[in-house]
Chains A and B, each alone.
Chain A
């Protein structure tokens, strides 16, 4: 029966191919979108794993880029028992680098981090950029009043720069004193400089007594101590006009997890629509096939094929379409992800269970798409079917 069913599918190659493509597009979409989401998740988890302390931002800001806090908060944070260091940070998007805006000509896609190197040296674990230096050095207290910057290997490669050369950020030229690489796409797009210089680039846009956020490291890094300090910090600023959210790595992860969770729901809805359309394609193909083959089912019934045999035949045919569509879709999806990865700032990941599930969905889609046509074929009266010849 398996060979007979395959023959029936191959007899109508164009129609079968179109139904198969319908399923394949749906499956490729599922594999592609979930691979991107999964890659984004693992990249973010990896990035957050590099940050050990707390990040303080203005209450209800989603990101340091949208947060503004008074510089004077640093001293108040450092006075809280258990805090080892509190580093003020000014985060912003570079207006242009080397006169270029590379992302659609609108912005650079590169961030600027202005920090206070003096306080930096008090961090017990060291700042993530200090720990990731590949060549040269990080910004130091002595760099105040000079235009010096540290760039990532990615930026160095992109602008063909290295230690000793200069890089223009906005209207100002900076001497490159160090090159770092954290390995995270989210962190490696940053030019690090002295807080003073970041204020200079910002010009009138940022007040000189305001920063974006503070990076805080406790003396002891147990989860209990971190939690205690977090609460103490939030309490310290509870009565100020600009209140503070202290976020640990776990909380960032959880926030990001929520965003990705919503993205996953969206992806599942989009994929389900595609999968539904694929199933309709198979249903349509099989229904047309059954309608055209009424006399054939009459012959089979006259020659001893039961309702169950006819049902199985049609279901096997539609399952073939689903399986082929699933295989084709998985292949296209995986290949598409590999190609897309070359142009993406992070690596999409395609776990094997995802491919297996997508393939299973394709096969299931095929079988479900064949149920109604199979019932119709099986229910034909042999006499009526033969007369239709």
Chain B
């Protein structure tokens, strides 16, 4: 299983009052699966993504990703895990303004030094996502769709086991959104990575996808792939 969660709960304190974002999520997402986590705003779907992405810790319950029990890992081990195994694509593109496209793709590895050939690999991936003529451009010089492609390329460079996308088309028009989904699906198909897309936009769901609906911090519906 890529993700295995058991009675996962997360409670925040907001204005001095506890808010239960997740009220006991139990699920298994198999390897190489393409999953949509859908639900209304505030349902807890982004919280689930943050826990699966080792960006946050649950209040209780366990979550195992790619065979690693995240709740028992140290902060440094979680950082290493995110760098080596996980890819992220966020709604707000999340690029670093003073770095160009190639540098934004490479930035996860700047802290520990770039391995030989990594810069060339980054350029190749950017060419693959259609940004061959935008390698030296900074985020301000790129359109929203191009910026999101850079974010996808950054995730691809790691050859991730799991790619987590939080509303990846939220700020894009339909045509560009479809292109981004095309890229995510090719990553899934060609690299064999599991993909979890958190969204309230169900237009991009295909018959082979797993769909999990979360409401009020609980799974209210889980649809296995058809066909």
Which residues from chain A sit less than 8 Å from chain B, CB to CB?
1, 4, 7-8, 11, 295-296, 298-309, 312-313, 381-383, 386, 389
Contacts and interface: CB of A to CB of B under 8 A. Distances in A.
Contacts of A312: 111
Given A1-B110, A303-B88, A8 B98 contact: yes
Contacts of B118: none
Interface string B101-119: 0010001101111000000
Interface string B154-170: 10000000000000000
Contacts, number: 79
Contacts of A4: 99, 103, 107, 110
A209 to B, nearest CB: 83
A302 B78 CA distance: 10
B56 A303 contact: no
Contact of A306 (B95, B98, B111): B111
B55 A303 contact: no
Interface stretch (B32-40, B65-73, B79-87, B180-188): B79-87
Contact of B111 (A1, A8, A302): A1
A389 B98 contact: no
A302 B98 contact: no
A156 B108 CA distance: 73
Nearest to A306: B79
B155 to A, nearest CB: 9
Contacts of A306: 75-76, 79-80, 111
B79 A301 contact: yes
Given A382-B55, A389-B94, A7 B75 contact: no
Contacts of A313: 111
Interface of B: 50, 53, 55-56, 75-76, 79-84, 88, 90, 92, 94-99, 103, 107-108, 110-113, 154
Contact of B154 (A303, A305, A307, A386): A303
A7 B103 CA distance: 11
Nearest to B47: A383
30 contacts: A4-B99, A4-B103, A4-B110, A11-B97, A295-B92, A296-B97, A298-B94, A300-B96, A300-B107, A300-B108, A300-B111, A303-B82, A303-B88, A303-B108, A304-B79, A304-B83, A304-B108, A305-B83, A305-B111, A306-B75, A306-B79, A306-B80, A307-B75, A307-B79, A309-B112, A312-B111, A313-B111, A381-B56, A386-B90, A389-B90
Given A305-B111, A313-B111, A7 B98 contact: yes
B55 A7 contact: no
A389 B50 CA distance: 16
Given A7-B99, A295-B94, A312-B111, A304 B88 contact: no
